[in-house]
Structure formats: C-alpha cells, structure tokens
Structure 1
Amino acid sequence: MKVIYSHSFYPVYTSDPAAEAGRIEAVMNALPAEAERIEAEPATEAQISLAHTMEHIEFVRQEGLYNIAALAAGGAIQAARLGLEAPAFGAIRPPGHHASGDSCWGFCYFNNMAVALLTLKEDGLIETATILDVDLHYGDGNVNILGHRSWVKICNPTGSTRDGYLREVETFIEAHPANIIGISAGFDHHINDWGGLLLTRDYCAMGRMVANSARENNGGCFAILEGGYNHDVIGQNAAALMEGFSP
C-alpha cells in the first residue's frame, strides 16, 4: 500500500478543525507496517485550473494558503495515478470536497478529488470514474465540479443505519464500474466522531467493496483524506480502509 504524505501537512495552517495539530500524525502513526510512504509533490497551477477558475486560485493565494492547498491537490493526483496500478491512500490536507470551481467552504480550498480526476482524464489515463464520498457532510464541491460530466458517477450515501449505509454503498459500487474509483475518505461519520454512525470495521468493508470492484473491472482505486476530527480514532479508521484495500 502506497501512502502519499508530507511533513508539510503537519503544521497548523489555519484555525479550523481540519488543520489542528496532531491530526495527520494520528493517521501516519496508525499506518500498516507494510505501507510505503511517498512524499507529496504540489499540483501545478495548470492542473489546479482544470477544476478552478483563476479568480478562485488567486483568492486562495491571497489567503496565504496556496502552497499547502496545491500540495494536497498534488498528493491527490499522485494517489490517483498510483491507484491505477494498486490501491493508494492520500494522507493529505486541507481537505477538498467542499471546494467548487469558484468558491470554497468547510475547511476546503482546492478540490483535491476533482483536480486528480480531471488531470487523469486530461492525460488520457481514464475514460470513466466513480466517486464514493463517505464523509459525514455532502460533497457539494465534488458534485458542482464533476456531477454534470457524463463520465463521472458520484455517491454521497444517506443511510441512517449502518446496515442501510453499507447496502447503499455496495449497490452503488456494483452498479457503476469505472476505470478508477476514488473515495473521498471522511471519517467523521464514525461512532466516536461527529456523525456517530459507522464502526471502524465499516471502513474496512467499504474499502474491500471498492477494491474488489476495481479488480473485477480491471480498474484502479484510491482514497484521499477529507474529514474526521477525533484524533483518537481517525488513524484506526484510515488503517481499516487501507486494510480493506489489500487483496
């Protein structure tokens, strides 16, 4: 399992919960022993502009957050590229699924998932993509940027019980095979986080569903970190998702 990360993600870059001290460390400290760590490289402005207007890019720059946001977007691209060969995980921040083409909110600045998939599409590496967004909060940015594109299918599960949630995920994944499946991996739906619904083993189950679909359809898969704010469990949940990715 290849994990994209950088020590540049460790420092606090703003005052929101996604930027809190210790959050990325909690994920990295829980990695499986066999995980291969790969240093993140920033996305180029041209890659970012596949998803965002120049006005929005300039806004992020003026906020003093361009470098860290570009590094997260670049890490997502790396995870997606690697995911075409074997499952990969991007331990990146800031998150991205609330960033639209010309606006952002919810601790997000650039849409990491959109930048990654649009880059792969631009480079001729994929024809179709599926996004499973398991964050507690609806990924409006993913939908706003990618939802109108016929080659992308997106699921934001709405099940109010664990069994219903997992059935919804399974049904969607089975119905939408693609060249690549990307997971917007928010862990704030966990029983001990804001959402209070899912168990750690449920992330393993969803990772396994995605990886099995990718293998059966000769496709790839990857995940990138979105939400998840309880440092005591976020690492366990990320590790469970990675365990599910493993053959």
Structure 2
Amino acid sequence: MAIQRHFSNLGLNTKMLQLQAEMAYEEAVLRVHHPRYIEQLEQMSPLSGLIQADPDTLMGPHSHDAAYFAAGAGVQAVNDIVDGKYQRAFCAVRPPGHHAEPNTTMGFCFINNIAVAVQELRSKHDIKRVAVIDFDVHQGNGTVEIFKNIPDVLFCSSFQHPFYPNSHWNIDRPNIINSPIPAFSTGEQLMKIWEAQWLPALIQHKPEFIFISAGFDAHRDDPMAEMNWLANDYHWITSRLCEIANKYADGRVISMLEGGYNLKALAASVEQHVRALLEV
C-alpha cells in the first residue's frame, strides 16, 4: 500500500498498466518446491491467529494464499510478456521469496517467487538462458539452492556480509556470482561490483530474459540491515540491467519485490527502480 500511495501521489501509476495477479497454479510451484513441502504449507496454515513457520517467519490464516498470489504474479508476467502484451513488469508482492529453498521456509519466504517465474518461462516457452539479479541486502540462498546446478540460469547477488542467512554465499559454481559487501557500504561498492563481476558475466551469458529479485533493504534508512544505499542507487543498477536487457533480451525484464522495511525509503526506492524500468 505504501508503494501504491506514493505512485498515486506522483501520478506514476498512470504510466503503467496495473493488474491483479491470479494465484499460481500447482504445477508451477512444484517445478521449484518438493510436493511434501507444499502439502505441509497447506496443512499448517492456521484458521486464526499466528503460528511460527520457522524461527524467522510467522504464518497467519491468509499467508498461504498470499504466497500463491505472490508467485502467481511472476507466472502471469512471464506469460504476458512472452505473448507480447508488455515488455517489462514490476511485481509489488509480499511475502517475498528468495530465501525459500525447495523444502524450507526461511526469512519471511514461503514460495520462491522468482524461481517459480524463471521455471515457468523455461518450461513453457522456448527460452532457456536467463539471468537473475538479486540486490536485496540478504543473500538469496533459496534461489542459489534451486539453480546452482542449472548452468543456463546465471545468478548474481550482492548482499551485506557477514549477515543473514550466511549459508550459500560461498557456493562455487560458474553460474553463481556472489558479491558480498561489508556493512556501511554505499552504492559506489555496487558500481564496482557491476563493472568487475556482473557486467562481464552477463555479457558472456547473453541472457534472453532478465529477472530481478528487487530488495530495497540496503537503503540507509532500512532497519533490517547496516548499508548506506540511496534511492538513486536503485535507479542506477536498474538502468544498467535494462541496457543489458535491450542488448540481449529484447528488453524483457521481470522484477519481483523482495525486502524493504522502512515504508518511506521503500516507496522512494521502488519509484526510482520503476522509473528506470519505464525509462522515464
């Protein structure tokens, strides 16, 4: 709602087609997650109140459906873009997804939204070579776990280190580019990572489609981390990704919201991100 209000106040919402996503269908989710895990998510969903789904994650009566709507947004964006209805999409979804592993709830995440979208594209359409860029302040361990043995999926991730989840940051795979950043770094560190690591990897990979795990909790005002990024840093990195998309992927980009917990900073950062996607 904070993002929607901010966009409405700016009139930015008039520059976009706004859609209500449908829930992800079961087969799409099962391409990424184990059947028993998905059964457990449904069985543990409470009728009222809150339960502890894992040490970090609470689950309420509507969490299960919300997770399916979040994953469904990416599925819908994939199929709409391939059908030529639009070129780029920002999915303003919650709960986030990039910590969810095939059989594990983690870090507020139940379903790995970005992975579900990637596999929808790769399974249903004649597009296999994609890139996933994750600039959330926390490393996308779930996405690494899902794609670490799939060379056609390049995964590039920046994250505060050492920091949560501190589990997949040292995975050694040619298609996994982990870029740890020390606390209190500014966006200048991201620019250095782009030039030294991500840009060469993307040029070599030549992705046919780009996905973004768009977390905005590296902003200096976010309470969940200790970084010093500013809203304009998100415009900068998104513009660079759009340049790569225009060169190799017919401009096709899907961005899915991950973290971001100071509502004012979140709204301002998403504004800059979306302006770059719109190229306005």
TM-score range relative to shorter protein: 0.7 to 0.9
1:53-92 map, 5 Å: 53-64=34-45, 65-83=63-81, 85-92=86-93
Aligned to 1:21: none
Aligned to 2:193: 168
When the two structures are superposed, what TM-score results if normalisation uses the length of structure 1?
0.85
Work out the CA distance in 2 between the residues paired with 1:173 and 1:76: 25
Please give the per-residue CA displacement for 1:146-175, whole angstroms capped at 9, x wherever unaligned.
121011011112234321212213541453
When the two structures are superposed, what TM-score results if normalisation uses the length of structure 2?
0.75
Structure 1 contact 159–168 (Cα < 8 Å) conserved = no
Work out the CA distance in 1 between the residues paired with 2:228 and 2:79: 32
SS of residue matched to 1:68: helix
- Which stretches in structure 1 are left out of the alignment for 5+ residues? 1-24
1:114-133 map, 5 Å: 114-133=115-134
Letter of the structure 1 residue corresponding to residue 221 of structure 2: N
1:118-197 map, 5 Å: 118-157=119-158, 158-160=180-182, 161=185, 162-170=187-195, 171-176=197-202, 177-193=206-222, 194-195=224-225, 196-197=227-228
Q: Are 2:96 and 1:98 aligned?
A: no
- Which stretches in structure 2 are left out of the alignment for 5+ residues? 46-62, 159-179
Larger Rg: 2
Aligned to 1:40: 21
Q: Which moved more, 1:163-172 or 1:92-101?
A: 163-172
Higher relative contact order (CA 8 A, sep 6+): 1
Work out the CA distance in 1 between the residues paired with 2:216 and 2:16: 20
The list of structure 1 runs, each at least 4 consecutive aligned residues, that deviate by more than 6 angstroms after superposition, is: none
Work out the CA distance in 1 between the residues paired with 2:149 and 2:270: 30
Work out the CA distance in 1 between the residues paired with 2:274 and 2:102: 30
Aligned to 1:26: 2
Letter of the structure 2 residue corresponding to residue 38 of structure 1: L
Q: Are 2:233 and 1:202 aligned?
A: yes
Aligned to 1:244: 276
Letter of the structure 1 residue corresponding to residue 278 of structure 2: S
Q: Judging changes above 3 Å, is the alpha-carbon distance between structure 1 residues 211 and 191 closer, same or farther for their aligned structure 2 residues?
A: same
